[in-house]
């Protein structure tokens, strides 16, 4: 069903804000924020500093994931009355692991014109500089906070051939990397991008095991805004050449509910096969 855009209604602008360096703010975004009737901000106190820096005096109200339906309806009513509104989050592009989906979806259904302003996005910035394949990728947002749910979340993606992109919080980064190691194996390539566009911007590139080792040894790598990028799955070469005995041993160990990493280590010690090949075999079993 096609919804016609109402010519009498205002415009909802989706406006990105800097993820670090204030110079990342695009001129068009400044112009929109200066000229709209209202700015809907994730946190008005946080955004107030940005507005002050760019001398933007447009009125602001808060709008976030926990805002009431009534607040969303109030914004829709203003838009239908011809007011122009800019939606911003604390940093980056709204809706990309930030608030706004409900409002944009409702605005579209009401025939209100929604216009995006291109700009800063941590996921895309990290991907562009990661050196991992960028022709096909999947943004998966924040993994679950609890270990068991996070491992299951990663397990569902282990054979995805696209480059995988996650956001992660600093206080969970060690546990999250440990779960990546457990599920994806030690040799899967990855990049950890931290504090993009800020003073202490860092890119750690290598295998999951090597990146985890650095993070464990350097407390500074456990701070700030973090993007994790994991290389897509590639079928192991010559997988069919695993000996029948190695396959039998691995099957027995996995049937006993041993973790894949532990089963591969034991089977390697028993059969002489390489641990990584046994691990890869288990993932496609």
Digit-by-digit pLDDT tens for the chain (285 residues) are: 444 555 578 999 999 999 999 999 999 999 999 999 999 999 999 999 999 999 999 999 999 877 778 888 999 999 999 999 999 999 999 998 877 999 999 999 999 999 999 999 999 999 999 999 999 999 999 999 999 999 999 999 999 999 999 999 999 999 999 999 999 999 899 999 999 999 999 999 999 999 999 999 999 999 999 999 999 998 766 445 778 888 889 999 988 888 888 898 899 899 888 888 888 888 777
Q: Pick from 138, 149, 216: which is nearest to 177 by CA?
A: 216
Helices 69-80 and 101-109: angle between axes, nearest 10 degrees? 40
Residue 213's pLDDT is what?
96
> What three-state secondary structure class fits 167?
strand
**Which tokens go with 221?**
């790598």
Q: What is the pLDDT of residue 1?
A: 45
List, in order, residues 6 or more apart from 11 with CB less than 8 Å away.
79, 84, 85, 112, 113, 114, 115
pLDDT at 7: 58
Q: How many CB atoms lie within 10 A of CB 144?
A: 15
Residue ranges with strand state E in the chain = 11-14, 38-41, 60-62, 85-88, 113-116, 137-139, 163-168, 189-194, 202-207, 226-230
Check residue 208 and give its pLDDT.
97
Give the per-residue pLDDT at 2.
47
Is the overall model pTM greater than 0.85, yes or no? no
Residue 255 structure tokens: 């049937």
Beta-carbon contacts of 216 under 8 Å, excluding residues fewer than 6 positions away, are: 174
């Amino acid at each position: 069903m096609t919804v016609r855009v109402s010519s009498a209604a205002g415009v909802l602008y989706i406006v990105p804000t800097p993820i670090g360096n204030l110079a990342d703010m695009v001129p068009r975004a400044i112009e929109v924020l200066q000229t709209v009737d209202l700015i809907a901000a994730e946190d008005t106190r946080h955004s107030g500093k940005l507005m002050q820096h760019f001398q933007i005096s447009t009125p602001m109200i808060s709008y976030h994931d926990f805002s009431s339906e009534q607040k969303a309806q109030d914004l829709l009513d203003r838009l239908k009355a011809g007011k122009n509104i800019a939606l911003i989050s604390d940093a980056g592009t709204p809706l990309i692991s930030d608030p706004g989906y409900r409002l944009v979806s409702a605005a579209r259904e009401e025939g209100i014109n929604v216009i995006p302003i291109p700009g800063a996005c941590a996921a895309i910035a990290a991907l562009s500089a990661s050196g991992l394949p960028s022709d096909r990728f999947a943004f998966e947002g924040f993994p679950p906070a609890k270990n068991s749910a996070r491992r299951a979340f990663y397990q569902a993606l282990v054979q995805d051939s696209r480059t995988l992109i996650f956001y992660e919080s600093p206080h969970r980064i060690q546990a999250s990397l440990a779960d990546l190691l457990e599920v994806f194996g030690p040799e899967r390539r990855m990049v950890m991008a931290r504090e993009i566009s800020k003073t202490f911007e860092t890119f750690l590139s290598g295998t999951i095991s090597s990146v985890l080792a650095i993070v464990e040894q350097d407390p500074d790598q456990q701070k700030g805004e973090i993007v994790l990028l994991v290389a897509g799955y590639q079928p192991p070469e010559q997988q069919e050449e695993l000996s029948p005995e190695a396959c039998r041993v691995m099957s027995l160990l996995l049937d006993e509910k041993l973790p894949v990493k532990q089963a591969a280590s034991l089977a390697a010690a028993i059969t002489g096969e390489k641990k990584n090949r046994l691990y890869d075999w288990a993932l496609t079993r």
